[in-house]
Amino acid sequence: GHPYFSHMAVNLAISIKYHDRDMPISIIQDGQGFTMLEGWKQDLFNVIEAPKDMLNGDPYYLKLNLDKLTPYDKTLFLDVDMVWNNFLKPSELLAYLDGTEFTMVCRNELDPNGELLSRWMDMQAVAAAYKVDKLYDVSSEVMYFEGQPKVFEEARKAYKKPKAQVAKFGDGYPDEAFFIMAMAKLGIAPHEVPFEPSYWEPRYFPKQHSREFISGF
């Protein structure tokens, strides 16, 4: 889509290469913004063309197809609007997650009998539909999986026939909603709860802070 996403991907790739120079990085692109990058920037990536049928008019649907798109036996997926920090190398995170079939960012375990808040769907309805007493507040900006876990196939099924009404998000539907349903159907959980490898300021600070707070001056 927008060329800014391609520039974000370059920044992320450079921050990864800073720590692990030989780390292979693939990018899924749709033939728009990526082609506007300079040659050396494109060369940072192994390019995966997004199949038209997977775009489906919904950019988030691509995430439900990562098992089909990845060229790797072990895949760490990252959204492009981030950079890698200095606390842990990418190779160290991969080593830590080695042997985990599937996991993703998980902020908490949710009790369907309590007050469940979600901007995407009625979580009580999901719990009732799948007859579960436990759901997970997951986010897909960081995902790790090995091979082709069944959770992706189930998420695609949930996308086509959701058991709860899912709110739209921009031009599509939030992929997290369908991963929540798939995990409920399969009875699986993230490898660790909570698992928060990514930092997103609005999550940890409900109010925006001043420039002085960010810089430490």
Q: Mean pLDDT, to the nearest integer, of 72-83?
A: 97
Tokens of 64: 């439900």
Determine the pLDDT at residue 217: 39
Determine the pLDDT at residue 216: 44
Top pLDDT among 126 and 207 is at 126
Determine the pLDDT at residue 119: 76
Mean pLDDT, the chain, as a whole number?
Answer: 90
Query: Could you tell me the pTM of the whole model?
Result: 0.90
Determine the pLDDT at residue 63: 96
Tell me the C-alpha to C-alpha distance, in Å, between residue 153 and each of 65, 132, 178, 195.
8, 20, 10, 23
Q: What is the CA radius of gyration of the chain?
A: 18
Q: Would the pLDDT of 200 be above 50?
A: yes
Query: Between helices 123-130 and 175-186, what is the axis angle to 10°?
Result: 30
